[in-house]
């Protein structure tokens, strides 16, 4: 079974693309969603985050996301620490998930495929791109956060140019080009590899 990495900057439309792949009966693992769940459920992660950031990082056994975000997006060392705690557990969880699937390929959706090193475990990489202003507006509306908060998050991700250079395929999600033909073409290409 092939493992296809699906990546793109915040607000590029990775989740929308994933939903279309699901309609093609392709299993999709959303790393961001799974990481959020693991941060609430995984004992190893919880212990390490409490040791580093104190008991206030969890409220009634639920991660205080607002507090953690305010810490890690202002300090790269803390962001690196959280990533070093969370990513190995996500990798382990993904491996277990893959073993339950029966398909020609699966999609691993993650915004930080390259930054986390997860790209080394893929057979092919698809990058989703969109103009920066469109991405910023999408995230502001989706997450109800300010422009500056979005820009801080974008600052911690590699550029679209770097992502495209390291990827095998690109999907353009600019609101002008149709998504379905791009995805169907990629789907057929993957099946013939």
List the CATH number of the domain containing 143. Answer: 3.40.50.300
pLDDT at residue 75 is higher than 90: no
Same domain for 88 and 119?
no
pLDDT at residue 155 is higher than 90: no
The predicted-structure confidence for 5-49, as pLDDT tens digits, reads as follows 999 999 999 999 999 999 999 999 999 999 999 999 999 999 999
- Confidence at residue 153, expressed as pLDDT on a 0 to 100 scale: 87
* CA end-to-end distance (rounded Å), the chain: 11
pLDDT at residue 76 is higher than 90: no
Written as one string, the DSSP assignment of the chain is -EEEEEEE-TTS-HHHHHHHHHHTT--EEEHHHHHHHHHHH-HHHHHHHHHHH-GGGEETTEE-HHHHHHHHTT-HHHHHHHHHHHHHHHHHHHHHHHTT--SSEEEEE-TTHHHHTGGGG-SEEEEEE--HHHHHHHHHHHHT--HHHHHHHHHTS--HHHHHHH-SEEEE-SSSS-HHHHHHHHHHHHHH-
The predicted-structure confidence for 101-145, as pLDDT tens digits, reads as follows 999 999 999 988 998 889 999 999 999 999 999 999 999 999 999
Residue 7's domain spans which residues?
A: 1-27+105-187
Same domain for 69 and 96?
yes
Query: Of 49, 67, 100, which marks where a domain is finished?
Result: 100
Q: How much of the chain, in percent, has pLDDT values that exceed 70?
A: 100
Query: Of 74, 100, 126, which marks where a domain is finished?
Result: 100
- Confidence at residue 68, expressed as pLDDT on a 0 to 100 scale: 95
B/e letters for 141-178, b = 16+ CB within 10 Å, e = fewer, are: eeeeeeeebbebbbebbeebeebeeebbbbbbbeeeee
Place of tokens 């915040």: 10
- Confidence at residue 162, expressed as pLDDT on a 0 to 100 scale: 96
pTM: 0.89
- Confidence at residue 115, expressed as pLDDT on a 0 to 100 scale: 87
């Amino acid at each position: 079974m092939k493992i296809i990495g699906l990546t793109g900057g915040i607000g590029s439309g990775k989740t929308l693309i994933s939903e279309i792949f699901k309609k093609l009966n392709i299993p999709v693992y959303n790393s961001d969603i799974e990481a959020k769940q693991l941060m609430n459920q995984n004992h190893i992660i919880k212990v390490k985050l409490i040791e580093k950031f104190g008991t206030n990082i969890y409220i009634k056994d639920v991660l205080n996301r607002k507090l953690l975000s305010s810490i890690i997006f202002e300090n790269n060392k803390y962001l690196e620490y959280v990533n070093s705690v969370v990513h190995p557990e996500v990798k382990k969880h993904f491996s277990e998930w893959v073993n339950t699937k029966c398909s020609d390929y699966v999609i691993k959706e993650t915004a930080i495929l390259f930054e986390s090193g997860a790209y080394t475990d893929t057979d092919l990489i698809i990058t989703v791109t969109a103009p920066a202003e469109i991405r910023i507006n999408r995230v502001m509306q989706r997450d109800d956060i300010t422009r500056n908060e979005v820009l801080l998050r974008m600052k911690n991700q590699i550029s679209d140019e770097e992502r495209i250079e390291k990827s095998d395929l690109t999907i353009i999600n600019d609101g002008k080009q149709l998504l379905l033909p791009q995805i169907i073409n990629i789907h057929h290409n993957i099946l013939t590899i």
